[in-house]
Amino acid sequence: MKLFQKTQNRLARKRRIRARISGDSARPRLTVHRSLSQMTVQLIDDASGKTLVSASTKELKAKPNIEGAKKLGAEIAKKAKDAKISTIVFDRNSYKYHGRIQALADAAREAGLTF
């Protein structure tokens, strides 16, 4: 029963965040998914429903820890610059802004993305 409530709370947080955040072609949404085995990020244009750029720790051969999140943030910023994207909207996707999520965001900012 406790697991069900935890999942419901996480989905409620996700709905609250997504109600306020959306991306377009000028400012796509950077969404994060983390699991125990990998982290993935995508730049999504919500107006057209297309993924513009994506990256994962699996393709970088990095572990899904803080160091891997820093590498992932730098990689997504590099791919975004190649696609001529400099400004984004950050979607933490119901995860708290600390640890791996914060490391990813800070590395993306240092590599040149503007949130």
Q: pLDDT by residue (tens digit) across 27-85? A: 999 999 999 999 999 999 999 999 999 999 999 999 999 999 999 999 999 999 999 99
**Domains with residue ranges and CATH for the chain:** 2-110 (3.30.420.100)
pLDDT at residue number 57: 97
**Which helix (H) or strand (E) segment is 40 a member of?**
strand 39-45
CB 56 within 8 A of CB 38: yes
CB 100 within 8 A of CB 109: no
Structure tokens at 33: 């998914």
Query: Residue type at 50?
Result: K
CA angle 76, 79, 80 (to 5 degrees): 85
Q: Is the pLDDT of residue 25 over 90?
A: no
